[in-house]
Amino acid sequence: MTEDLKPWFPLRTERLLLREFTQDDFDDVHAYAIDPDVVRYMDWGPNTLEDTQAALDRWDAAQARWPRPDVNLAIHHLADERVIGSIRLGVNDEPTKTGDVGYSLASAYWRQGLGTEAARAMVNAGFSALGLHRIWAECDTRNAGSYGITEKLGMRREAHHRQNKRARDGWRDSYVYAILAEEWSIG
């Protein structure tokens, strides 16, 4: 990442503000991080109080550095004035301008288009602000909500990896979705 790159966030959408985390977000983060439905397909959680504090401390330390290859932002719901999830965009291969996106969202906010709204803003920033060539996402094949978001963004399924991750309930399969800058349309 180039030293002259300026922060491209916070990002505001119609209903959300994607911003850096603060220690004041603890209660909101912990509320979604202890929900078994939210963490079912994640490699973390359900969180203890210590787990949530450790995550906030890691994010706080990362936020002190710029530029950084991974940006993890709070999904702040404007109407409710609370953090309802997190979203991450990482540049994982600078020479090929490749990045990945991942997200988690409080279950009370599922099926309202908020995950898609947040992911659209991050993918758009990846292409427009960071000049990425390709952005990909990976999820458990059982996580229809997650791969539904990628499909709504116009990403295509590129791979089905069999038993590639160890999960709480055994080996899991993963889907990989991706989109190229030339295919991206924010509309």
Q: Residue 18: its pLDDT value, please? A: 98
According to the model, what pLDDT value does residue 39 have? 95
Over residues 93-113, the pLDDT tens digits come to: 999 999 999 999 999 999 999
Question: Residue 1: its pLDDT value, please?
Answer: 54
Q: Which pTM does this prediction carry?
A: 0.95
pLDDT at residue 119 tops 60:
yes
Q: Angle 39-41-45 (CA atoms, 0-180°, nearest 5)?
A: 30
Confidence bin at 155 (pLDDT 50/70/90): very high
Domains of the chain: 11-183 (3.40.630.30)
> Locate tokens 């180039």: which residue?
2
Residues 8-24 have pLDDT tens digits of 999 999 999 999 999 99
What contacts 49, CB < 8 A, 6 or more positions away?
30
Percent of the chain with pLDDT over 90: 91
Q: Measured between alpha carbons, how far is 103 from 72 in angstroms, rounded to an integer?
A: 9
For residue 18, give every residue at least 6 positions away whose Cβ sits within 8 Å of its Cβ, in sequence order, or none: 9, 10, 11, 12, 73, 74, 75, 76, 87, 118, 121, 122
How confident is the model at residue 73, as a pLDDT? Answer: 98
* Percent of the chain topping pLDDT 70: 97
